[in-house]
Amino acid sequence: MVGAPYARTFPIAPGGIALFSYIVRRSLQAIPLLLLISVILYWILSNAPGGPLAPYLQNPHITAADIARLKHNFGLDQPLPIRYVRWLGMVLQGDLGYSNSNSESVTTAIVERIPATVLLSGTSLFLSLVIGISIGIFAAIKPYSTVDYIVTTLAFFGQSMPVFWFALMLQLAFAVGGITAFGYHFALPSAGISASDEFDLGDRIAHLILPTVVLSFLNIAVWSRFTRSSMLEVVKTDYMRTAAAKGLDRSKIILRHGLKNALIPVVTIIALSLPDLFSGAVVTETIFAWPGMGRLFFSALGQFDFSLLMGYLVIVSFLVVFFNLVADVAYAYLDPRVKYD
Amino acid sequence: MAITLVPGAIAAPNADDDFVLERRGVWKRFRKHKLALVGAFVLLAVTLIATFAKFLAPADPNFIDQANWSGYPLAPGVAGHILGTDENGRDLLSRLMYGAQISLMIAFFTVFLQLTIGTVIGAFAGYYGGLVDYILMRITDVFLSIPLLPLLLVLTAIVAASSNKASLGLGVIVVIIGGLSWPGVARLVRASFLSLREKEFCEAARALGNPDLRIIFRHLLPNAIAPIIVQGTLSVATVIIVESTLSFLGFGIQPPTASWGNMLANAESNMAIAPWVAIFPGLCILVTVLAINYLGDGLRDAIDPNMK
């Protein structure tokens, strides 16, 4: 478990057999968890009126007899457990089913959206890491200074501001009327990934700015605060006092001796927030009409596209379980005091 | 009844004194956190305004000012609308006051439900351990692994579609959010109970023949309450944001009922001509949530200075 009170055990070399068997054991534990998640999701989604055939029910050209035939063809007249097992069998072969709202396979629909999501989330992740951790370290070097105070306040704002409203305010400030600076008047685009199909780097970057800022703000707020408090914990330790007693100045001690140790818990927090980034921030992508996975999910919701919703939720849950495991393994690997159990 | 001298009878008043002192310490530490005090004050003010919206609001929240409205939102100050009107000519300030009612009511009831479920599950898992713990924690893992917002969206969509009603009731939203957001609380309470059940007083309570339920809720729970209170306070802030997000996306509180989230839903299309419609509801959310977060931060520092 993350952050569990760890027992001080004597030397287990980082890596090696112990770590490997720990990874294997944790991976095996993840399998029943994923199965249970998929059972519950399948049960919840099958409660939707009309089930997978919901989009056809609204179509006046499709008669009751057609529906019955479709039901039989798709095996929907079978009991729920049988349908689930069939679905699972297909998923294990890499087939997530057919998306009614996109008229293509769910796998294709999702794979098509991955590049846009990775572009947005990757940029945001990179910026959040660099800015968030730097700010956190800077605040820890001079705790309770003006800079520290501003950082802490901003972190509180970041955690208290609804993402969608922040997005609206940025659109209002930079996209609706535009801004005049240095004698130029320009407006940032507020929707989409590009103005035309032809690739234009400047245009791509312009489209990326607002959604990236929205997506990064909360992460920067949380990660900088976390880095700061983790660093202040490390500063209290004996080895840091030793370094200080040798006459090194505070910023040097923090960067040379403290940073590596202070970042261990930060790595955990970051790993745990990765699934949110890569499942495509539903709200951000929807507001900025960004053609990623989050927006795909949201549009599927409007038409209740069973297979697509199921596929998306299962993939996203898988990411959560996977990055939880990565966080635990990274923690155990980076901190030799942690016992593998 | 015969009066007998038992050692415990002498010790008891002292224990009470300790308790009072302990509480004084909490208040003393809380008072030092100025922003937490401001937060508490702001939250109180918002709650009062929400409670007495009926008397304070300048107009009915759904009243359309036909006399002055001509299809576009009226600007702040025009025709007696202090904060202007929305795109349907309804007084913005009145809608914000009634929206506060909805947002706070949902948040308080949801957190109550979430704390109840989380506490019961966490307490049983931590107290009994073994197989009970294993099963309850695997269920908790499942709900922790499915991302909350997409799951909430799917569930509200299903409930809305199957209830044949145009609008989801406040109660439904409370049950859905509360019923899915308890795992964090459960883990927290379990951790406290794991250490509490090893303490001597728990041993003593068991030796006296108390039934398990009594030990859990009368002896152990009061000792685990501090982190639950802090978590609950911070959860109120989270739930306000979650509910407003759902309503903004069209899956929460449905118009014409005003909620801070759904008031922003149509603001985007009019943003160029009526930015106030987009600005004020969000400001209400920001100020309220910020106040609660500072209050929770102050409570955490005051109740348990070692907790972080």
* pLDDT of the residue at B167: 58
Interface test with A, best of B43, B135, B143, B146 (most A CBs within 10 A): B146
Given an 8 Å threshold on Cβ–Cβ distance, is B290 in contact with A156?
yes
Nearest-by-Cβ selection for B264 from A41, A48, A168 = A168
The confidence band for A203, taking pLDDT boundaries of 50, 70 and 90, is confident
**ipTM higher than threshold 0.95:** no
Dump the DSSP string for B66-81.
TTT--SSPPPTTGGG-
Using CA coordinates, name the residue in chain A closest to B135: A33
A contacts of B237 (beta carbons < 8 Å): 160
Within 8 A of A316 by CB-CB distance, chain B residues are 146-147, 150
Query: Tokens in use for A309?
Result: 């919703």
**Partner-chain residue, chosen from B146, B153, B278, that has the shortest CB–CB distance to A301:** B153
* pLDDT reported for residue B166: 55
* pLDDT, mean of residues A258-282: 83
- pLDDT over 70 at B59, yes or no: yes
The more confidently predicted of residues B183 and A13 is B183
Does A320 sit within 8 Å of B146, measured CB to CB? yes
Residue B63 has pLDDT above 80, yes or no: no
A165 vs B150: CB contact, 8 Å cut-off? no
Q: Give residue A216's pLDDT band: very low, low, confident or very high (50, 70, 90).
A: very high
Q: Which of A196-205, B44-53, B144-153 has the lowest mean pLDDT?
A: A196-205
Nearest-by-Cβ selection for B290 from A32, A157, A283: A157
Once rounded to an integer, what is the mean pLDDT over residues B74-102? 82
Q: Which of B32, B43, B33, B99 is nearest to B260 (CA)?
A: B99
d(CA B131, CA B48): 47
Mean pLDDT over each residue of chain B, to the nearest integer: 84
Structure confidence at residue B5 as a pLDDT band (50, 70, 90): very low
Distances (CA, A) of B26 to B33, B222, B299: 11, 16, 8
pLDDT, mean of residues B8-28: 52
Cross-chain CB nearest to A171 (options B245, B271, B293): B271
Mean pLDDT, residues A66-92:
82
**Is residue B227 very low, low, confident or very high in pLDDT (cuts 50, 70, 90)?**
confident
CB contact under 8 A, B145 and A317: yes
Looking at residue B165, its pLDDT comes to: 61
pLDDT of B16 higher than 80: no
Which pLDDT score, from 0 to 100, does residue A8 have? 43
Whether the pLDDT of residue A9 is over 50: the answer is no
* CB pair distance less than 8 Å for B282 and A324: no
Tell me if A168 and B268 make a contact (CB, 8 A cut-off): yes
Distance CA A99, CA A88 (A): 16
Instruction: Over range B15-44, report the average pLDDT.
Output: 74
The Cβ of residue A318 has, within 10 Å, a number of other Cβ atoms equal to 17
pLDDT of res. A341:
55
Give how far B17 is from chain A: nearest CA, Å. Answer: 33
Q: Please state, in angstroms and as integers, the Cα–Cα distance from residue A162 to each residue in A288, B36, B262, following that order.
A: 15, 21, 13
Average pLDDT of the segment spanning A133-137: 90
Interchain pair B249, A298: CB under 8 A: yes
Q: Which residues of A touch B278 (CB under 8 A)?
A: 165, 168-169, 172
Question: Which of A12, A26, A28, A29 has the alpha carbon at shortest distance from A333?
Answer: A12
Residues of B in contact with A33 (CB under 8 A): 138, 141-142, 145
Most confident of A60-64, A107-111, B8-12, B63-67: A107-111
Q: Is the model's pLDDT at B180 over the cut of 90?
A: yes
| Mean pLDDT of the A247-260 span | 82
What angle, rounded to 10 degrees, do the helices at B275-303 and B92-128 form?
30
Using beta carbons and an 8 Å cutoff, which residues of B are at the interface with A? 138, 141-142, 144-147, 149-151, 153-155, 157-158, 161-162, 237, 241, 244-245, 248-249, 251, 261, 264, 267-268, 271-272, 275, 278-279, 281-282, 285-286, 289-290, 293-294, 297, 308
- Model confidence at A243: pLDDT above 90: no
User: Is the pLDDT reported for residue B108 higher than 90?
Assistant: yes
CB contact under 8 A, A176 and B271: yes
State which fold the A109-334 domain adopts: MetI-like fold (1.10.3720)
Query: Which residue in B has a C-alpha nearest to residue A37's C-alpha?
Result: B142
C-alpha distances (whole Å) from A36 to each of A174, A192, B7 are 45, 37, 54
What number of H helices and E strands is found in chain A? 14, 4
CA dihedral of B57, B58, B59, B61, whole degrees rounded to 10? -40
The residue with tokens 């509910």 is B243
pLDDT at residue B1, as a whole number: 40
B272-290 pLDDT, tens digit per residue, is 788 888 899 999 999 999 9
Asked if the model's pLDDT at residue A276 lies above 90, the reply is: no
Q: What stretch of H or E contains A318?
A: helix A306-334
Mean pLDDT, range B32-47, rounded to an integer = 91
Q: Going by C-beta distance under 8 Å and a sequence separation of 6 or more, which residues neighbour residue A24?
A: none
CA distances from B219 to A227, B190, B200 (A): 38, 15, 11
**Least confident window among A6-20, A142-156, B280-294:** A6-20
Length of chain A: 341
Interface test with B, best of A160, A231, A298, A308 (most B CBs within 10 A): A160
Set of chain A residues whose Cβ sits within 8 Å of the Cβ of B36: none
For residue A33, give the nearest of B138, B150, B155 by CB distance: B138
**Angstrom distance (rounded) from CA A204 to CA B45:** 46
Nearest-CB residue to B147 (from A171, A279, A309): A279
Domain coordinates in residue numbering, chain A? 109-334
**B115: distance to nearest CA of chain A, Å?**
21
Evaluate if residue A77 carries a pLDDT over 90. no
User: Residue A71 is encoded by which pair of tokens?
Assistant: 């039901």
**What is the model's pLDDT at position B13?**
41
Examine the pLDDT at A25 and tell me if it is beyond 70.
yes
Backbone phi and psi for residue A186, each to the nearest 5 degrees, phi listed first: -145, 155
Q: Which of B93, B95, B73, B74 is nearest to B83 (CA)?
A: B93
Least confident span in A83-87, A178-182, A187-191: A178-182
Whether residue B267 and residue A168 make contact (CB cut-off 8 A), yes or no, is yes
- Under the banding of pLDDT at 50, 70 and 90, the label for residue A51 is low
Per-residue pLDDT tens for A290-308? 999 999 999 988 888 888 9
Phi and psi at B121, nearest 5°, equal -65, -45
pLDDT confidence band for B88 (50 / 70 / 90): confident
Kindly tell me if the per-residue pLDDT of A11 is higher than 50.
Answer: no
How many percent of chain B have pLDDT more than 90?
A: 44
B21, pLDDT greater than 80: no
